[in-house]
Structure 1
Amino acid sequence: MTASPANNMDVKRRNRVNTLRCILKSDRVSQMELTQRLALSWPTILQNVKELTELGLVREDGMYASTGGRKARAYAPVRDARVAVGVDLTRDRVVVVLTDLSGNLLHQATGALRFSMENIYFQYLGGLLRRFVDANGAEDRLLGIGLALPGVVDEERGILRDSRDLELRNVPLSRFTQQFPWPCRCLSSAHAAGLAEFCAMKTQEDMVSLSLGDTVGGAILRDGGLHRGDHLRAGEFGHMTLVPGGRRCRCGKDGCLDAYCSAKVLADHAGGSLSAFFEELRSGDAEKREIWREYLEYLAVAVNNLRLSFDCGVVIGGAVGAYLEEFGELLRALLAERNPYERDTAYLRYGRRPQEAAAVGAAMVQVEAFLQGV
């Protein structure tokens, strides 16, 4: 059976997109390396590289040294040919980032801004973004805005279904984006943070993320993409019951993981400052050491449950995740004791984007939409 012209076009587009993805993962690559990595023919790679070069997304980068035959031409990505802005909006602050096509952080701005549904708040937010884009000379390369919101985001219906953090239900997403003069896509903060961590690790393996910020959230990477679930709540690990009848959670239920493992749990023991808590822990404070041990015991239960439920890698990010490289040895020991099948904790990784993860992940949604259409 002969393939239809439409199918041929889809195959060509997919091959071109995969070629660009491969080049974006490399600082410098030859056509031969591309043919080997992608299992595509030499003429196909040659045509794809030519088209991507004409689009300004790839450039020639000299020649490789000869190995006896004709020298191979080298190609490099033009990662900043297009850029995207990501915004992480929370109850008390706004984080704005500018990323390139590989998700590299080019510029960042963070400021305290108390959330409000008043028009003046959205006007200020719109002005902040316009000034940020202008200051960084991004207007002519900008793909659009990615907006991360705390809660359940239903982009198909265009609503923020439920945000306990902002105390909102069924609010049109257009309310948040009305002051943005560029295309905007919205997703939940937890999913955005997970996406950023997945992209930073450059993996296509299934993985779950657990984000330990002022609230606890998570995301599930399955088959190379985010798994959102039947009701867009996949990864709401913060509201798994950890201790039946335990501490009251902000959601109104008792014993949620959020009530035991949010960054706020630690910060509240150091005048509201997470960094101060770890400074005191670093100095050997006995009280902080006991608090940290109790925190890790609860965290180990949660991580072990994720490992046994999904049987894949687990990455811990968020504000607390940034400290685990230094203070996480006990966590690994607790995990080795708790898991009945394995003592090796190599499946556990620590996040690489502690503060700006949700904003970067939101920007990557715009990047991904662009790559799919190349």
Structure 2
Amino acid sequence: MSGTPYTRSTSRRTPRTFARRDGAPRPSLLRLPTVGIDIGGTKIAAGVVDGEGRILEQLRTETPHRSKSPKVVEDTITELVLQLADRHDVHAVGIGAAGFVDADRSRVLFAPHLSWRNEPLREALSSRLKLPVVVENDANAAAWAEWRFGAGAGEDHLVMVNLGTGIGGAIVRDGWLERGRYGMAGEFGHMTVVPGGHRCPCGNRGCWEQYSSGNALVREARELAAAESPVAAPLLERVGGDVMAITGPLVTEAAQQGDAVAVELLQEIGHWLGLGIANLAAALDPGRFVIGGGVSAAGELLIGPAREAYRRNLTGRGFRPEADIVLARLGNEAGLVGAADLARQVARRFRTVKRSRVERRA
């Protein structure tokens, strides 16, 4: 944590390598190990990630109850980072948080699962850890990871759609995350697709995530079961007749085992997914859509219907190129890996500036 002073190497063969004063080689700035933190409503995951996106070590703990003060969550994050720093030479920390993050990537303006309201998280953590810290929206972090190391590699106009409890999203264009003027771009889940439709927790009606998300899948399955529909009988048998025990993973598992109504429910979610993607294509015209989040575990049962609905609703269909629609590859670790890699960019800039100042003084 305290670090050892470095002097610049004179080797021309390794222009991005620096040597310690004790003679040991220093890794390229591109390969600096950094810590990524993924903050969820129920867990906080922390991991050391190398320059190739590999997780060297990972720790997990429960998220402090949402009624606790922001400092309690900061204490938890600090403890995880310090544990990892005892065993790894980490150089920066990236935080992926569900919620609105300002354009400077320093404050969490609003986090639905935590008591953060305009919270100066970067300043609070960097002063305690004595390391560069970057704060990023969790969907942005996941999209960055997929673009750097996963299903989005090689595509410079990428849109990611995360289907979890709701819908998160992010845009990567020409090697940059598109955050918008105020840092809130990518909130695709709250596009209105059905005026006057289902009420959304955001306060509006008919939001996209009310029709294509984990919550939507569970709501539709439970409504069928509660209505004692004969087609829902196999689902009820799986949960011993307890309607509230029906979950998204259970519906997905049933569909993968051939349950007809579960397959139909996923097809409906996929239809709405494809419709929303067609709208995004009209507005953003990306080359690839990457679909992640827990619901994407359904694979082709979800993506197949989505592709069909996308093609049926795409503006100018038949007369324009169609974006690829692919499944994410990095799974639940995408947010952690992306946050760590974004922190690495900050660490590189921090060390470059620091080195320049040292050289000017010399």
Q: TM-score of the superposition, structure 1-length normalised?
A: 0.72
Bigger relative contact order, structure 1 or 2 (CA pairs below 8 A, ≥6 apart): 2
1:238 equivalent to 2:212? Answer no
Equivalent position of 2:231 in the other structure: none
Residue 82 of structure 2 is aligned to residue 108 of structure 1: no
Partner Cα separation in structure 1 for residue 12 and residue 207 of structure 2:
50
Q: Partners of 1:97 and 1:108 in 2: how far apart?
A: 4
Pairs within 5 Å for 1:87-166? 87-116=37-66, 117-118=68-69, 119-134=71-86, 137-138=87-88, 140=89, 142-154=90-102, 156=104, 158-166=106-114
- Select the residue among 168, 183, 208 that pairs with 1:257: 208
Percent identity (aligned): 29
Question: Partners in 2 of 1:160 and 1:226 — Cα distance?
Answer: 17
Rounded to whole Å, the distance in 2 between the matches of 1:167 and 1:157 is 18
- Aligned residue for 2:92, secondary structure, equals strand
1:343-370 Cα distance to aligned partner (Å, 9 max, x none): 6756212211221222211111111223
The answer for the alignment partner of 1:298 in structure 2 is: 272
SS of corresponding position for 1:254: coil
Give, in whole Å, the separation in 1 of the partners of 2:97 and 2:154.
Answer: 25
- For the pair 1:352 / 2:329, whether they are aligned, the reply is yes
Q: What's the counterpart of residue 219 of structure 1?
A: 170
Q: Deviations over 1:38-86 (max 9, x none)?
A: xxxxxxxx97533234559xxxxxxxxxxxxxxxxxxxx9799521111
Aligned counterpart for 1:286 among listed residues 260, 275, 279: 260
Q: Note if contact 1:153-1:162 (Cα within 8 Å) is conserved in structure 2.
A: yes
Cα-to-partner distance string for 1:211-253 (whole Å, 9 max, x where unaligned): 1122311111122101111121111101111111111111111
- TM-superposed deviation, 1:282: 1.0
Residues 1-374 of structure 1 aligned to structure 2 (within 5 Å):
49-55=13-19, 82-116=32-66, 117-118=68-69, 119-134=71-86, 137-138=87-88, 140=89, 142-154=90-102, 156=104, 158-166=106-114, 168-173=116-121, 177=125, 180-200=129-149, 201-203=152-154, 205-267=156-218, 269=221, 271=245, 273-312=247-286, 313-325=288-300, 327-342=302-317, 347-372=324-349
Q: CA deviation at 1:340?
A: 4.6
Name the SS of the counterpart of 1:52 in structure 2: coil
Distance 2:323 2:297 in 1: 17
TM-score by length of 2: 0.74
2:132/2:347 contact within 8 Å kept: no
One-letter amino acid matched to 1:207: L
Distance 2:256 2:148 in 1: 31
Whole-angstrom CA distance in 1 between matches of 2:338 and 2:30: 17
Aligned residue for 1:161, secondary structure, equals strand
**Aligned residues, how many?**
305
AA of the residue aligned to 1:242: V
Preserved CA contact (<8 Å) 1:154 1:160: yes
- Residue type at the aligned position of 1:339: L
Residue 369 to residue 121, structure 1, CA distance change in 2 (3 Å): closer
Structure 2 unpaired stretches of 5+: 1-9, 21-26, 222-243, 353-362
Preserved contact between residue 155 and residue 186 of structure 1 (Cα < 8 Å): no
Write the distance in 2 (CA, Å) between the matches of 1:157 and 1:114.
23
Cα distance, 1:47–1:131 mapped onto 2, change above 3 Å: closer
The answer to whether the 8 Å contact 2:37/2:44 transfers is: yes
In 2, the alpha carbon distance for the partners of 1:174 and 1:366 equals 11
The structural deviation recorded for 1:296 is 1.0
